[in-house]
Amino acid sequence: MSQQATVEKITHSEALPAASFEFLFTSSAAKRQRHQQEAVQLLLEKYGDEVSAENFAQKDIHFQQLQSILSEASSIFPLRAVQKEIYHNDSGTAFVPAGLKKLLLNIDSRFVVRPGSLADLQKFVQYANENKLRYTLRGAGTWPFGGAIPLH
């Protein structure tokens, strides 16, 4: 086979049928979310500064509405003080002095939404857009560059 034939074979592709992505719309992370929530409770129980989702929901209308819109596969929760340290940092900001970070970065979060399905992600983004809410897509925070990508 000539090199030209090989190149043509590699670069030629057909459009994937929509059914190829159907699993994304039918998949749910509910079981994984539930196990992760249990693990977080065990890890954070010693900190004792638990923020009750019920008490928080009474104060924040968007929290209440998102709880009613999203399925049980998703989790939505206010952050404890120790969780703010985790969610407001990634490994790339570990070496920035705290005073300088506070001066340069205005990081404030009301709550965290972890969509458990593609449908819930779509509902959240639509809700945020309709209500002019700012949000940040957050990765695991384990890579120094781009773990959290601000949208606004």
Q: Which two tokens stand for residue 98?
A: 């705290």
Separation of alpha carbons 43 and 146, rounded Å: 26
Is residue 11 over pLDDT 50?
no
Separation of alpha carbons 128 and 70, rounded Å: 13
Q: Which two tokens stand for residue 32?
A: 């994984």
Domain boundaries, the chain: 3-150
Q: Which two tokens stand for residue 51?
A: 């923020």
Q: Collapsing DSSP states into helix, strand and coil, what is residue 83?
A: helix
Average pLDDT over residues 27-48: 72
Is residue 144 over pLDDT 90?
no
- What pLDDT was estimated at residue 65? 94
Most confident range (mean pLDDT) of 7-16, 74-83, 118-127, 133-142 is 118-127
- What pLDDT was estimated at residue 3? 46
Q: Which residue has the higher pLDDT, 106 or 135?
A: 135
**The domain made up of 3-150 is a member of CATH 3.30.43.10:** yes
CA distances (Å), 14 to each of 4, 5, 7, 10, 56, in order? 19, 17, 15, 11, 50
pLDDT in tens, 61-109: 999 999 999 998 898 888 877 777 777 766 666 667 777 777 777 677 7
Q: Which long-range contacts (CB under 8 A, 24 or more apart) does 62-66 make?
A: 62/110, 62/127, 62/131, 62/133, 63/110, 63/111, 65/127, 66/113, 66/124, 66/127
